[in-house]
């Protein structure tokens, strides 16, 4: 009897950089696939390039000439014989043009269909889908002309003050302005339109009622593309600076069973409505006064904070994305609404928190990571690595898992204190401050908490002190 032919080893093209590129490469190897990394000229010697089975240079350092060019990614996928492309987060992860280019070449995309990306890619469309699915939404209105004062006055009266002016496209906190009254609205709407145009190439805006004491709570979903959904709990991402997340945890603390059910049921309904495929996140506000639940948006990709869900539930969401894209069983289990453990993550950035979070690129001379049960580090850092100035300042994500929240917070504070990075400024001391603040320890803080508390803190201290540990100086 002749031996059975060996199954063809699939090839995954990783269309991203930094820690998420490393994460996807590891997931590809875990499922027995080859990993090819598409890199800019600045990332030829990155850790991801060293871990990948093959690298292909797609352009110069500037993202607009490399990572943001769908035709270059599609060309690299064809050139390397890729079966599937994983976009990570950011860059082209939510751009339907890439999905369509790949589809025309018979290459799978580890993410939703193009029509899904379009449906949720602008916030106005996503809101319509949410309404159709029965998800709770805030009072809102489209802004047809941000320079038309009469138009803005009428919309402001309809929505009510205070209100948020938001860019329809994009994210990352850009194109968002808080208008407490009509005079500020007339000034801020044109500013938001200009910022949105510069950042996303589209200045469309809408406004919605602002909840001044709301938490940011999101639900991790995984759809099979036919309307069926798995719900992997919820995350609290309320520690934010200018709409940028700093700390994330799973499960969201202090949610009543009823509120959690509303969040999960609404997310499941959206997956069904969209026939959503793969991993995604449905974001909500939970008002701390009324406990109203308000739909925000759908992030149709893997999130930066996905590790806390993976650790809390013991699953591999990235490997599941790849398996589903390859036409295989993603191997994800049904899980309870609340996980058996708590996981908390801090984002370590190359920034100086004492200089208005100014980016701090430079050469990394020394790195020491904490070790021990329940500690995970997602990073692309290596010693003698020159952290580039061209991209996002995220250096690493430090995640700790424990049997309950109090233990997880204490363990993460200890882990932060045992992390040592020399050569550039980092946000490590900032995280020590957050993790040991009594408000954070109590849980359930609103998204407006961090800014005033941090400003008050730095006004009274030259530098936030990192925890003292034997044999270690405070992080500089």
Which stretches of 191-255 are assigned E, i.e. beta strand? 205-209, 214-224, 229-241, 244-250
Rounded to 5 degrees, φ, ψ at 100 are: -70, -40
List 72's β-bridge partners, or say none.
Answer: none
* Catalytic residue check, 23: no
Beta pairing class for 394-402 and 375-379: antiparallel
Question: What is the spatial distance between Cα 376 and Cα 408, in angstroms, rounded to a whole number?
Answer: 12
Burial 345-364 (b: 16+ CB within 10 A, else e): bbbbbbbbbeeebebbeeeb
Closest CA to 85 of 326, 378, 310: 326
> 167: part of which helix (H) or strand (E)?
strand 163-167
| 201: CB partners within 8 A, 6+ apart | 169
Q: How far apart are CA 173 and CA 444, in angstroms?
A: 21
Residue 260's closest CA among 286, 289, 240, 279? 286
Give the phi and the psi of residue 454 in degrees, each rounded to 5.
Answer: -70, -40
Annotated catalytic residue, options 113, 127, 277, 301: 301
**Please, what is the end-to-end C-alpha distance for the chain in angstroms?**
67
DSSP string, 357-424: TEE--EEE-EEE---STTEEEEE---TTEEE-SSS--EEEEEEEEESSHHHHHHHHHHHHHT-EEESS
Alpha carbon 360 to its chain's center? 21
Count of CB atoms within 10 A of residue 63's CB? 18
Task: Pull the structure tokens for residue 459.
Answer: 């006004």
List active site positions: 301
């Amino acid at each position: 009897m002749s031996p059975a032919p060996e199954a063809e080893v699939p090839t995954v093209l990783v269309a991203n950089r930094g820690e998420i590129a490393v994460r996807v490469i590891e997931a590809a190897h875990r499922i027995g696939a080859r990993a090819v990394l598409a890199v800019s000229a600045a990332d030829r010697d990155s850790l991801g390039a060293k871990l990948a089975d093959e690298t292909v240079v797609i352009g110069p350092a500037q993202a607009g000439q490399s990572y943001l060019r769908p035709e270059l990614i599609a060309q690299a996928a064809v050139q390397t014989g890729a079966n599937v492309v994983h976009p990570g987060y950011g860059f082209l992860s939510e751009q339907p043009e890439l999905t369509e280019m790949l589809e025309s070449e018979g290459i799978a995309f580890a993410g939703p269909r193009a029509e899904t990306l379009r449906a949720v890619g602008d916030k106005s469309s996503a809101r319509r889908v949410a309404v159709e699915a029965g998800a709770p939404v805030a009072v809102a209105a489209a802004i047809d002309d941000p320079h038309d004062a009469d138009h803005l006055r009428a919309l402001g009266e309809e929505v009510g003050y205070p209100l948020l002016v938001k860019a329809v496209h994009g994210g990352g906190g850009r194109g968002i302005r808080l208008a407490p009254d009509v005079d500020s609205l007339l000034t801020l709407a044109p500013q938001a339109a200009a910022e949105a145009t510069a950042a996303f190439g589209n200045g469309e805006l809408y406004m919605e009622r602002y909840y001044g004491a709301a938490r940011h709570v999101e639900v991790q979903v995984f759809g099979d593309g036919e309307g069926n959904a798995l719900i992997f709990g919820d995350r609290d991402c309320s520690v934010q600076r200018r709409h940028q997340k700093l700390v994330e945890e799973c499960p969201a603390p202090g949610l009543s069973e009823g509120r959690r059910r509303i969040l999960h049921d609404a997310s499941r309904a959206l997956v069904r409505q969209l026939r959503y495929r793969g991993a995604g996140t449905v974001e909500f506000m939970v008002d701390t006064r009324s406990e109203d639940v308000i739909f925000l948006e759908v992030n149709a990709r893997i999130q930066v904070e996905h590790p806390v869900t993976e650790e809390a539930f013991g699953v591999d969401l990235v490997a599941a994305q790849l398996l589903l894209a390859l036409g295989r069983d993603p191997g994800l289990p049904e899980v309870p609404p609340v996980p058996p453990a708590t996981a908390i993550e801090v984002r370590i950035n190359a920034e100086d928190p004492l200089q208005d979070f100014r980016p701090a690129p430079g050469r990394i001379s020394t790195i020491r990571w904490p070790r021990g049960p329940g500690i995970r580090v997602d990073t692309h850092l290596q010693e003698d690595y020159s952290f580039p100035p061209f991209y996002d300042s995220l250096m690493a994500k430090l995640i700790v898992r424990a049997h309950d929240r109090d233990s997880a917070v204490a363990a993460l504070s200890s882990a932060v204190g045992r992390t040592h990075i020399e050569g550039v400024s980092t946000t490590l001391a900032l995280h020590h401050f957050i993790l040991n603040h009594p408000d954070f320890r109590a849980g359930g803080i609103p998204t407006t908490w961090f800014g005033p508390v941090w400003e008050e803190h730095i006004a009274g201290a030259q530098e936030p002190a990192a925890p003292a540990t034997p044999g270690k100086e405070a992080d500089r």
